[in-house]
């Protein structure tokens, strides 16, 4: 009688490399919250050939995509690349427009406040 544990079938018939994966906790670069990069998504990333783990949590990723969509929509409206976004200056509170789409959480200033804070921009290049 042969030993039943070595009776023929190979242990390597079905490679289970997914078993090495486990959920990874990542700190979102945008909001600082810890989110879980689950195994299913890791497999999805690997299947797509993506090597870098995600940087943003699902909420921020969605927000970022919405921002990109808004920028693309604006660029469609202004094919020359000129966009105008209405904002309130974070310093003096004046209502103004800026030629770029503000980054979430970053203050936006009107032109005079911006120049006041960056006086070097007014100096002629030498
Ligand atoms: Zn986030
Ligand atoms: Zn201002």
Do 59 and 26 fall into the same domain? yes
Q: How many CA atoms lie within 13 A of 31 on its CB side?
A: 12
Are residues 69 and 97 located together in one domain of the fold?
Answer: no
The number of folded domains in the chain is 2
> Does residue 44 share a domain with residue 32?
yes
- Neighbouring residues of 117: CB distance < 8 A, sequence distance ≥ 6: 91, 109
Same domain (yes/no): 103, 124: yes
Q: Which residue has the tokens 């032109």?
A: 111
Q: Are residues 27 and 76 in the same domain?
A: yes
Note the ligand closest to the C-alpha atom of 111.
Answer: 2
Q: How far is the CA of 101 from the centre of ligand 2 (A)?
A: 17
14-to-9, 17, 61, 91, 114 alpha-carbon distances in Å: 11, 9, 35, 63, 62
Q: Which residues surround ligand 2, an ion (CB under 5 A)?
A: 89, 91-92, 94, 110, 113
110 lies in the same domain as 76: no
Expressed as residue numbers, the domain containing 59 is 20-80
Q: What is the pLDDT of residues 26-44, one digit of tens each?
A: 999 999 999 999 999 999 9
The answer to whether residues 24 and 76 belong to one domain is: yes
Q: Which ligand is nearest to the CA of 55?
A: 1
| For the CA of 33, the nearest ligand | 1
Arithmetic mean of pLDDT, 4-33: 71
CA 104 – ligand 2 centroid, Å: 18
Q: Are strands 95-98 and 24-27 parallel, antiparallel or unpaired?
A: unpaired
- Identify whether residues 89 and 43 lie together within a single domain: no
Same domain, 45 and 88: no
CA of 109 to the centre of ligand 2 (A): 5
Residues 58 and 99 in one domain: no
Regarding pTM above 0.75, the answer is no
Q: Which residues have C-beta within 8 Å of that of residue 57, sequence separation ≥ 6?
A: 28, 30, 31, 33, 35
Q: Tell me: do 93 and 110 sit in the same domain.
A: yes
Distance (angstroms) between ligand 2 centre and the Cα of 112 equals: 6
pLDDT in tens, 93-119: 999 988 877 887 789 999 899 999 998
State whether 88 and 76 are in the same domain: no
């Amino acid at each position: 009688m042969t030993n039943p544990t070595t009776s023929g079938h190979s242990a390597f018939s079905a490679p289970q490399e997914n078993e090495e994966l486990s959920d990874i906790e990542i700190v979102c670069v945008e909001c600082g919250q810890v989110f879980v990069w689950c195994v299913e998504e890791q497999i999805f990333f690997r299947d797509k050939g993506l090597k870098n783990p995600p940087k943003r949590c699902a909420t921020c990723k969605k927000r970022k995509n919405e921002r990109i969509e808004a920028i693309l929509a604006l660029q469609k409206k202004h094919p020359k690349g000129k966009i105008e976004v209405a904002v309130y200056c974070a310093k003096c509170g004046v209502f103004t427009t800026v030629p770029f789409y503000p980054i979430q959480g970053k203050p936006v200033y009107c032109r005079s406040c911006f120049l006041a804070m960056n006086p070097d921009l007014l100096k002629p290049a030498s």
